[in-house]
Amino acid sequence: MLSRILYIGLLLLCATAGGALSADSNTVSSTVVTDKAPPTASAPSIVINNSDICKTGASAAIQTQILGIASGIAIPDLNCERLKLSRSLYAMGMKVAAVSTLCQDPRVFDAMAMSNTFCPFMGKIGGDAQIEWKENFNLIPEGSLIRDLYKPKPMKRKKSETPIEVDPKKGIIGLLLMLLIL
């Protein structure tokens, strides 16, 4: 039995050693074709070089294996537009209109009110404008600190001297009518 195991082991050893001594030559050649680049989405560049344009550019892109999306927008700068309009009005000699344009900004409105130089109101200036702003506080720009000062304080409700009388018969009749409708 032992001799059989040794004989099989020797046979296997010779079979594997013979394979190691022999030389095989195989030539493998392959060509990888890369004629197409993977698709990419690139964000468009939005160039705004003119200082007379009150806009800012923003763009974004996203790419998956199947679909790519790119977009860009121009965002208006409202404060820049307000300043340009005010300068144009002032250059044309319309000083009150220029100040009124700037007063649409709550920061300017507050600064004017705190310096006791109130923003024009429908052609009125100075003290007359202050009176009109107090009467029409809802026209003061949102976010202004002065708006809260000009808002009338809510009045407390007075309690009624006469108590409310409840008739239980009317309540029961109303309940029966509701059930009848259902």
Model pLDDT for residues 140-153, shown as the tens digit of each residue? 888 888 887 777 77
| Cβ–Cβ under 8 Å, residues 74 and 57 | yes
pLDDT score for 29: 67
Residue indicated by tokens 């340009």 = 84
d(CA 96, CA 92): 11
Whether residue 72 is predicted with pLDDT greater than 80 in this model: the reply is yes
Strand 55-63 relative to strand 68-76, pairing: antiparallel
Mean pLDDT over the full length of the chain: 78
Spatial contact of 49 and 38, defined as CB atoms under 8 Å apart: no
Cβ neighbours, 10 Å, residue 28: 4
Q: How many CA atoms lie within 13 A of 174 on its CB side?
A: 6
The answer to whether residue 32 scores a pLDDT higher than 80 is no
DSSP letters of 85-153? HHHHHHHTT-HHHHHHHHTTSHHHHHHHHHTT-PPPBTTB-THHHHHHHHHTGGGSPTT-HHHHHHSPP
57 vs 163, more confident: 57
User: Nearest Cα to 105, choosing from 63, 73, 140?
Assistant: 140
End-to-end alpha carbon distance in the chain = 101
Position 91 confidence tier, pLDDT thresholds 50, 70, 90: very high
> Does the predicted model carry a pTM greater than 0.75?
no
